[in-house]
Amino acid sequence: MKILIILGLTLISTIGFGQNDIENDIISALIKSEIKSSPNDTVFTRKGQIKKIKKHKDPDVILVNETETLLFDPKVDSLGRFKNETNGLPSLDKDSYIDFQDKNKSKIQIDLIQDFNGTIVYITRQEIESIFKQGGWDNYHKTFGFKPLIKISRPGLNNDRTKAFIYYSSSVDGLGGAGFYLILEKADNKWIVKESMLAWIS
């Protein structure tokens, strides 16, 4: 009996970790895709010679290291709305949509993003809530300046795990942010952003 219990727990643990690995791969791909350095600006003289090159800094962001939950009301945000709305997500499938709802009833920890060209400061939900409780965005700016605050959901997956439906937001102020729903597809063992839909803007 003890052996069966241990085997069962091992299987559950392995399945859980495998699922989280896939989710973190998708989250990592999304962050690398959406947060990039701006290209350098080259300034030319009237004769067409290079005068100087303005180099842009690599991105520097704050990431809540736990996923978001309760992201929409399925009675209002139906599958049909996402698929049919202008600038919506026409390739969103039912399986990914339902899996997104189910997954985002709970949270997972976000792994460290590897090979990111920039700086990510990872912050817990409790820490960010404490910062805002003590002074809102003014207190956030005192702590982090105007570095974007990134929040992200768990991805919903289709049955063969080749398509993902996910939520992502970036904010620098109460009137300086936006949230998006996105579709990613797996091709050549890489997750690529294929579609995005604006969820809100401030």
Q: What pTM was estimated for this model as a whole? A: 0.81
Give CA–CA dist 130/157, Å, rounded: 33
At 93, the amino acid letter reads D
Full residue range of the structural domain in which residue 6 is found: 2-201
Give CA–CA dist 110/155, Å, rounded: 12
Give CA–CA dist 4/12, Å, rounded: 12
Number of domains in the chain: 1
Give CA–CA dist 116/91, Å, rounded: 28
Residue 1 has pLDDT above 80, yes or no: no
Exposed, middle or buried, 142 (CB in 10 Å: 0-12/13-18/19+)? exposed
Q: Report pLDDT for 46.
A: 63
Summarize pLDDT for 56-89 with one digit per residue, the tens.
677 899 999 999 987 788 777 889 889 888 889 9
